[in-house]
Amino acid sequence: MLEIYVDGDACPVKDEVCKVARRHGLTVHIVGNRWLRGYDDPAIRQVVVPEGPDAADDWIAERIGRGDIAVTADIPLAKRCLDRGARALGPTGRPLTPDSIGMALAMRDLSAHLRETGEITGGPSGFTRQDRSRFLSALEDAIQAVRRGR
């Protein structure tokens, strides 16, 4: 049975994931290092992990399976999920695939290096209404693709 795993601490689309999952009768695991209010639905399972580097990532990567969907902005976690046969989707709707994950990891490392050397300052651009809409469409597409066996 398809389940959705959300890297929850800084995810801007938790509510959207829950809404889509309810419509499809899917279980959602929201994983983070603190309890969040407002997710009392029995199909939404909140998992609070200890604080520490990669605790949420490790929990997700150990449990996600083939045909599940991970929602994360964390590229290394997305790679771990893909390696287990799951799908990975960024909060802006960008699907990460086995074909694109290598380039995404390389760009992540390059950006980190450029920030360390002072070539790039500032963070990512803000989350927009278009990002939210693109995410909803991509999540629906991913669910339908899993159900069709693609």
Q: Provide the token pair at 122.
A: 């500032």
Structural domain span for residue 36: 3-147
CATH number at residue 21: 3.40.50
pLDDT band at 35, cuts 50/70/90? confident
Query: Is the pTM higher than 0.75?
Result: yes
Q: Are 102 and 22 in contact (CB under 8 A)?
A: no
Q: What is the per-residue pLDDT across 50-69, written as a single tens digit (0 to 9) for each?
A: 988 899 999 999 999 999 99
Q: Which residues contact 65 (CB under 8 A, 6 or more apart)?
A: 84, 85, 86
Q: Would you say 32 and 49 are in contact if contact means Cβ atoms under 8 Å apart?
A: yes
* Mean pLDDT over each residue of the chain, to the nearest integer: 90
Q: What is the pLDDT of residues 58-99, one digit of tens each?
A: 999 999 999 999 999 899 999 999 999 999 999 999 999 988
Q: Which residues contact 12 (CB under 8 A, 6 or more apart)?
A: 91, 127, 131, 132
The pLDDT of residue 100 is 82
Type of residue numbered 71: V
Count of domains forming the chain: 1
Using N-to-C axis directions, what is the helix angle for 129-147 and 14-24, rounded to 10°?
30
